[in-house]
Amino acid sequence: MSLPAPVAEEFVEGNFLGLPEQGGSPDIVILQVPYELTTSYGQGTELGPSACIEASGQVELFDPLLGEDLPAGYKIKTAEPWNGEGGNLRKQLDGISKYLVPWFDGHKFPVILGGEHGILPAIINAAGGHPLVNGDFSQLTLVQIDAHADLRQELNGEPFSHACAASRAMDFGLKHLYQVGIRAFSKNEYERIQSDDDVTTFFASDIHSSSNSSWGRWIETLASIEGPVHLTIDIDGLDGSLVPATGTPVPGGLTFWQIIETIQELFSASKATVISMDVNEIVPQKDTPLTQFTAAMIATKGIIHHIDNRRNGKWADTSEDNDIQNNHVFDKNYFEKL
Ligand SMILES: [Mn+2]
């Protein structure tokens, strides 16, 4: 007598990993921000999130860390994408924050798919409503994987260009910025990196140095981070050969496994809590799904490590302490008024 064939889980088109919707409040939410206004020359970041969702259908649901298939007993929701509302760039950034803020309630883990990196300040603004931040941005650490420092004050007169994403994020008064993979920056950005005590940068050239690699120091640095953390992953932090379709691919970047190790070390840092992550600058590749598939793999790894944190009691639900409606008043027109 043969065993009955396993019943295939329903695959849902348009959902991350094809996972069917489960009822109740989600533990993890996939948020799509198809935003593109200022990307320098690649076109198509506005198509990136949906391409990443589609490519995620090919990602393995099994990971040895969890020992079972995703969702591994947790609820992963793919939310409706941001609808693009806002008549100009600043109103759009306010619209993105408004779209994101309900998911930063301390119960859910938001995984944001972009869209150009210019969405970062809108994400940080929304993260201010997370109970662990509660409007005090000096509690929040930003970890950035990127080819570019994104520390310009403006690009072509636009302070909210994707090339200024980290600068605009730091304007909130964040605790610290840690960057890795950086290999494209201006003189002004380099000088800021050298002089700003709130910015620590691990250049790709040092990471890849055969005589004195700084990779070990990067891993130690991640382990030392304390408090709430947002992880922003510009897909161009990876070597350009892995993500040729991204807006501005740059050679000499991180390997796939260096990104994975960064995620692993950050999520397991004993005194840090990763409250949210984004994977941005995804551009659908036409001849092969490599770029969007790589982004989907990385987002999935973040989810796996988040679930592992929940299982190990390293991630506490703080939604009971949620003061979004109390202490921290979210300003719906924050960027418009700047
Ligand atoms: Mn960037």
Tens digit of pLDDT at every position of the chain (338 positions)? 566 655 556 899 999 999 998 889 999 999 999 998 755 555 788 899 999 999 999 999 999 999 999 999 999 999 999 998 888 899 999 999 999 999 999 999 999 999 999 999 999 999 999 999 999 999 999 999 999 999 999 999 999 999 999 999 999 999 999 999 999 999 999 999 999 999 999 999 999 999 999 999 999 999 999 999 999 999 999 999 999 999 889 999 999 999 999 999 999 999 999 999 999 999 999 999 999 999 999 999 999 999 999 999 999 898 876 554 456 788 999 999 99
Residue 216 falls inside a structural domain: yes
pTM (2 d.p.): 0.95
Residue 284 falls inside a structural domain: yes
Tell me how far the alpha carbon of residue 150 lies from the centroid of ligand 1, in angstroms. Answer: 6
Query: Rounded to the nearest 5 degrees, what angle is found at the Cα of 228, between the Cα atoms of 230 and 189?
Result: 50
Residue 140 falls inside a structural domain: yes
Q: What is the DSSP string of 260-326?
A: HHHHHHHHT-TTEEEEEEEEE-----SS--HHHHHHHHHHHHHHHHHHHHHHTT-S---GGG--TTT
Residue 13 falls inside a structural domain: no
Tell me how far the alpha carbon of residue 327 lies from the centroid of ligand 1, in angstroms. Answer: 32
186: domain range?
Answer: 26-313+321-329
Tell me how far the alpha carbon of residue 229 lies from the centroid of ligand 1, in angstroms. Answer: 17
Residue 4 falls inside a structural domain: no
Residue 45 falls inside a structural domain: yes
Residue 12 falls inside a structural domain: no
Residue 337 falls inside a structural domain: no
Tell me how far the alpha carbon of residue 326 lies from the centroid of ligand 1, in angstroms. Answer: 33
Q: What CATH number does the domain containing 80 carry?
A: 3.40.800.10
**What is the number of structural domains in the chain?**
1
